[in-house]
Chain A
Amino acid sequence: MVPATCYLVLSAILFTLGAIGVLIRRNALVMFMSVEMMLNAVNLTLITYSRFLQNVDGQVFVLLVIAVAAAEVAVGLSIVVALYRHKETTDVDEIDLLKG
């Protein structure tokens, strides 16, 4: 039997990897993928506690998170496409329209 802590530590590691990805990558698409990884890490925590507390509410939360993540990806990727059409790049350092 794997203790619950193992799942929580794995989830922490995956969340950290996602956060590092957002910090060090400048490609908007890869940053998006890192955000998805962070959402997944949180989902893993929710399911671990759902199993631990014998309560199905955590899994319902995960389903809602997945639905919101799908909506986020649809909007986010169309923003990336619109930016690419405008600036010919997905490098977030070059997208400085609001910098003045």
Chain B
Amino acid sequence: MEMFIFFTLAAVAVAAGVGVIAQRSAVRSALFLLVNFCCLAGLYILLNAQFVAMVQIIIYAGAIVVLFLFVVMLLGIEHAEESPDLRRYQWIAGGLLGILLLAGILWALIPGVTGAFPALTPVDNVRQIGAALLTDFAIPFELVAVVLLVAVIGAVALAKKRLEG
């Protein structure tokens, strides 16, 4: 059963990933990205990371994809015009380089085959993450707040119109 769920989610995730990069319309790319994120959330649940799965749905699928869609619709660039001759050459070169990259990653991965997962001990996932965040990772956790604040200020400063005169 777990095998079946994994391969279904994996197949849909890969298909959606291909959709993201193959679609001409940016809106469709964003929607395929949403499918991809949701499949990954399902995989996180299979990996017993329920809290991260929910965060993935709320932040990635909820906030980031909606932000993408907002920008795509605001700018009105659903159909990016790209010169076809340049694109064909780029598809071939990009595809070859991608296959090379995949081969490299798999070549590094396969010798370190890790085998089956250890048996699951019944633990409270959210409690564990909370304890780790507020003890071992307290300083990174606080620094994330600074990163987000700087990002918000930067985004506002970049997006606001220059005052003339």
* Chain A contact residues, CB within 8 Å of chain B: 1-10, 12-21, 23-27, 29-30, 32-34, 36-37, 40, 43-44, 47-48, 50-52, 54, 56-57, 59-60, 62-64, 66-75, 77-82, 84, 90-91, 93
Interface pair B68/A29, CB less than 8 Å apart: yes
* A-contacting residues, B65-98, CB 8 Å: 67-68, 71-72, 74-75, 77, 80-82, 86-87, 90-91, 93-95, 97-98
- Chain A residue at minimum C-beta to C-beta distance from B4: A2
**In the complex, what residues of A have CB within 8 A of residue B47's CB?**
7, 47-48, 50-51
* Chain B contact residues, CB within 8 Å of chain A: 2-3, 6, 10, 13-14, 17-18, 20-21, 26, 29-30, 33, 36-37, 40, 43-44, 46-49, 51-52, 55-56, 59-60, 63-64, 67-68, 71-72, 74-75, 77, 80-82, 86-87, 90-91, 93-95, 97-99, 101-102, 105-106, 109-110, 113-118, 121, 125, 128-129, 132-133, 136-137, 140-141, 144, 147-148, 150-152, 154-156, 158-159
Which of B114, B129, B156 is packed against the most chain A CB atoms within 10 Å? B114
Interface pair A81/B43, CB less than 8 Å apart: no
Interface pair A19/B101, CB less than 8 Å apart: yes
- Chain B residue at minimum C-beta to C-beta distance from A14: B17
- Chain B residue at minimum C-beta to C-beta distance from A89: B77
Question: Bound complex: CA of A79 vs CA of B87, how far in Å?
Answer: 24
Question: Bound complex: CA of A24 vs CA of B29, how far in Å?
Answer: 14
Question: Which label, helix, strand, loop or mixed, suits the secondary structure of the A interface?
Answer: helix
- Chain A residue at minimum C-beta to C-beta distance from B13: A14
A-B contacts, 16 of them at CB < 8 A, read: A1-B2, A1-B116, A17-B18, A21-B20, A23-B94, A26-B87, A37-B20, A59-B49, A69-B64, A71-B150, A74-B67, A78-B156, A78-B158, A78-B159, A81-B74, A90-B75
A6 CB to nearest B CB, Å: 7
